[in-house]
Homo-oligomer: A and B are copies of this chain.
């Protein structure tokens, strides 16, 4: 049995178009309606035929839905909900895919006080954005975290769990605040640091930009991939998950200072001990299927 029959996807970028494609591939009987604020994105989604219908207003998109998934930047969730609140059917479940949850929960609850809101975050993505970047297998083998309020209707939570499982994801339930702390370290801090180091390299005097690019295979290029992620999406994530991000940043800075001292005072044993410990974490990630063991991410050589 299908957990939902009529899905509306709002925001047809990387994640929204991947949700639509994955639903088409795994639950072909679901009717998919799409909307995006950008007319060019709507036209492109139409040409790619990733939805059954694309509407010109978000109100028209939700009017018949039993599940609405918001796939817009986290800072836009509240505004987009305001636009469709009048048209939302009473029984519909409203969900999202935002990378942080506490701020989204608050924004949606304020605008949609009577709706059934079950926030979600599929921990999967690439550095690309827009409707062409999506693909149906993006969520396969990845985790999707649901952060329902304590009083959320059990049936709706279970239906959304089934929905994501049908797209190939494993589902975990978590408190929104805890989610934001965990993701601050596994996703937001890495992005922040990648953006910083790429900026540092770009600003250098004494080393030209063309040298930075030529010799990037020494490690730098890995950071540039993450630092090529969507600027608006990430601006919103950092501002919306400010407290957790700043806390993680503080801890990171302290650890970096300790390492700096170890280098300055030739503490080779300390360095080697840390570098040995970090290897083990990599091993666990590979063992648990969250990354490929192929050297260099399996890049062609």
Contact = CB atoms under 8 A, between A and B. Distances in A.
For the residues of A in contact with B, the DSSP-based class is helix
Interface stretch (A28-36, A54-62, A78-86, A286-294): A286-294
A172 B202 contact: no
A128 B295 CA distance: 7
Contacts of A135: 301
B217 A239 contact: no
Contact of A281 (B198, B217, B249, B279): B198
A284 interface: yes
Contacts of A225: 222, 282, 291, 296-297
Contact of A217 (B137, B199, B291): B291
A183 B212 CA distance: 8
Interface in A168-217: 172, 181-183, 185-204, 206-207, 209, 211-217
Interface in A200-251: 200-204, 206-207, 209, 211-232, 234-236, 238-239, 242, 245-246, 248-249, 251
A300 B211 CA distance: 30
Interface string A49-85: 0000000000000000000000000000000000000
Contacts of A277: 199, 202
The 6 closest A-B pairs by CB, nearest first: A187-B218, A231-B275, A126-B295, A190-B219, A228-B282, A227-B278
Given A140-B301, A189-B200, A198-B278, 16 more contacts: A127-B296, A142-B217, A182-B212, A190-B220, A190-B222, A191-B219, A198-B282, A200-B252, A214-B288, A222-B225, A224-B291, A228-B283, A229-B275, A231-B272, A242-B266, A253-B256
Interface of A: 99, 123-128, 133, 135, 137-138, 140, 142-143, 145, 172, 181-183, 185-204, 206-207, 209, 211-232, 234-236, 238-239, 242, 245-246, 248-249, 251-253, 255-256, 259-260, 263-264, 266, 268, 271-272, 274-279, 281-285, 288, 290-292, 295-301
